[in-house]
Chains A and B, each alone.
Chain A
Amino acid sequence: MDNSELFDKENTTANAGKSSKGKVLFSLLIGAFCFIIFAGGITLFTGEDREFSESENRVLAPAPDFSFYAVKDGSFMKAFETYFTDQFIFRDEIIRLKTFADRLTGKTEVGGVYIGEEGYLFSVPAPFDEKKQEIMKKISAFAESNKDSKVTFMLSPNSSHIYKDKLPAHLTLEDQKAQTEKLQKYTESKKVNFINLYDAFSAQKDEIQLFYKTDHHWTTDAAYIAFSELMKSWKKSTAGVKFNFLPVADDFQGTLSSKSGVNSSGDIIEICVPQNSALTYVVDYEDGEKKTASLFDGSKLQQKNKYEVFAGGNYGKITIRTTSSEKDTLLMVKDSYANCMLPMLTPFFAKIVVIDPRYTKEKLSAVIEENDFSHILFLYNMDTFLGDTSLEGFIA
Chain B
Amino acid sequence: MVFSSATFLFLFFPLFLILYNLKLFKDKNKETLKKNTVLLIMSLIFYAWGEPVYIILMLLSIFYNYNAVIDIDRYISSPKKKKLVFVCALIFNIFMLGFFKYYGFVVESINGLFSLSLPVKNIPLPVGISFYTFQVLSYVIDVYRGDVKAQRNIIPFATYISMFPQLIAGPIVQYSDVEKQLSDRQVTAEKFAAGIMFFIKGLGKKVIFANTVGAVYTEILGMETATLSVVTSWLGIICYTLQIYFDFSGYSDMAIGLGKMLGFDFLQNFNFPYKAVSITDFWRRWHISLSSWFRDYVYIPLGGNRKGTARTILNIFVVWSLTGLWHGAAWNFIAWGVFYGVLLIAEKYVFASVIEKIPKFIRYTVTMVIVMIGWVFFSNESLSAAFDYIGSMFGLWDNCFIDSTAEYLLSGNLFSVIIMILCATGVFAALPRIKNFRVNIAFMSIGYIGIFILCIIYLISETYNPFLYFRF
Nearest chain B residue, comparing its CB with the CB of A82: B463
Interface status of A396 (Cβ within 8 A of chain B): no
Complex-state Cα separation, A15 to B437, whole angstroms: 8
Complex-state Cα separation, A28 to B197, whole angstroms: 12
Complex-state Cα separation, A80 to B456, whole angstroms: 18
Residues of chain B within 8 A of A16, CB atoms compared = 190-191, 193-194, 197
Interface status of B113 (Cβ within 8 A of chain A): no
Interface status of A2 (Cβ within 8 A of chain B): yes
Complex-state Cα separation, A65 to B468, whole angstroms: 27
Q: Are A12 and B451 CB-contacts (below 8 A) given A4-B431, A25-B441, A98-B457? A: no
A13 in contact with B457 (CB, 8 Å) = no
A28 in contact with B442 (CB, 8 Å) = yes
Nearest chain B residue, comparing its CB with the CB of A111: B464
Complex-state Cα separation, A13 to B260, whole angstroms: 10
B457 in contact with A97 (CB, 8 Å) = yes
Of the candidates A19, A30, A123, A314, which one forms a contact with B192 in the assembled complex, judged by CB atoms under 8 Å apart?
A: A30
B449 in contact with A33 (CB, 8 Å) = yes
Residues of chain A within 8 A of B52, CB atoms compared = 71-74, 77
Q: Are A5 and B191 CB-contacts (below 8 A) given A11-B433, A82-B463? A: no
B457 in contact with A58 (CB, 8 Å) = no
Q: Are A22 and B188 CB-contacts (below 8 A) given A29-B193, A29-B197? A: yes
Complex-state Cα separation, A81 to B49, whole angstroms: 11
**Which of B7, B204, B452 neighbours the largest number of chain A CB atoms within 10 Å of its CB?**
B7
Interface status of B422 (Cβ within 8 A of chain A): yes
Q: Are A57 and B7 CB-contacts (below 8 A) given A3-B422, A26-B441? A: no
Within 8 A of B (CB), among A54-88: 55-58, 71-74, 77, 80-82, 84-86, 88
User: Which of B36-44, B234-242, B302-310, B403-411 makes up part of the contact surface?
Assistant: B403-411
A6 in contact with B452 (CB, 8 Å) = no
A258 in contact with B466 (CB, 8 Å) = yes
B14 in contact with A37 (CB, 8 Å) = yes
A30 in contact with B196 (CB, 8 Å) = yes
A41 in contact with B428 (CB, 8 Å) = no
Q: Are A95 and B461 CB-contacts (below 8 A) given A29-B196, A57-B468, A106-B415? A: yes
A28 in contact with B10 (CB, 8 Å) = no
Interface 0/1 of A17-37, CB less than 8 Å to B: 101011101111110111011
Complex-state Cα separation, A105 to B471, whole angstroms: 30
A26 in contact with B429 (CB, 8 Å) = no
Residues of chain B within 8 A of A88, CB atoms compared = 6, 460
Interface residue range, chain B = 35 or more
Interface residue range, chain A = 35 or more
SS class of chain B's interface: helix, strand, loop or mixed? helix
Q: Are A86 and B461 CB-contacts (below 8 A) given A40-B10, A387-B471? A: no
Complex-state Cα separation, A232 to B443, whole angstroms: 71
Of the candidates A58, A108, A216, A313, which one forms a contact with B465 in the assembled complex, judged by CB atoms under 8 Å apart?
A: A58
Complex-state Cα separation, A108 to B407, whole angstroms: 13
A57 in contact with B467 (CB, 8 Å) = yes
Q: Can you spell out 17 A-B residue pairs with CB atoms less than 8 angstroms apart?
A: A3-B422, A3-B423, A5-B448, A6-B423, A7-B429, A12-B444, A37-B14, A44-B10, A44-B11, A56-B464, A84-B10, A98-B458, A98-B461, A108-B412, A261-B466, A313-B469, A314-B469
B positions within 8 Å CB-CB of A: 1, 5-7, 9-11, 13-15, 17, 49-53, 188-194, 196-198, 200-201, 204-205, 268, 271, 404, 407-408, 410-416, 419, 422-424, 426, 428-429, 431, 433, 437-438, 440-454, 456-458, 460-461, 463-472
The 5 closest A-B pairs by CB, nearest first: A58-B467, A40-B10, A98-B461, A26-B193, A16-B194
With A28-B449, A57-B466, A73-B52 given, name 20 new contacts (CB 8 A).
A1-B451, A3-B422, A6-B423, A12-B194, A16-B193, A33-B452, A36-B453, A37-B13, A38-B10, A58-B465, A94-B456, A98-B458, A99-B461, A105-B416, A107-B412, A107-B413, A111-B466, A171-B404, A259-B470, A336-B469
